Amino acid sequence: MTCRELIDFIADYLVGELGESERSEFERHLILCPSCRAYLASYRQTLELLADDAVIEDVPEELVQAILKVRR
């Protein structure tokens, strides 16, 4: 899995909608790649802020969808 693919999968990963094989590839990449670990950490932090109704402008549509799924 490349960094770009990992970033595409992050929203699905966080809401638990990744298939088993994608999930294990995702986690293997995270172990090997500090920059993706940092990206995931900041992504998750943003998600938590939004879940607390913090106002953040320019939220990407896929992030909004991920939050809606988490809240359901």
Residues in contact with Zn ion by the rule CB under 5 A:
3, 33, 36
- Nearest residue (CB) to Zn ion, 31 versus 55: 31
Least separation, in Å, of the C-beta of 72 and Zn ion? 29
- Nearest residue (CB) to Zn ion, 36 versus 67: 36
Residue of 31, 12, 34, 32 whose CA lies nearest to 23: 12
Least separation, in Å, of the C-beta of 34 and Zn ion? 8
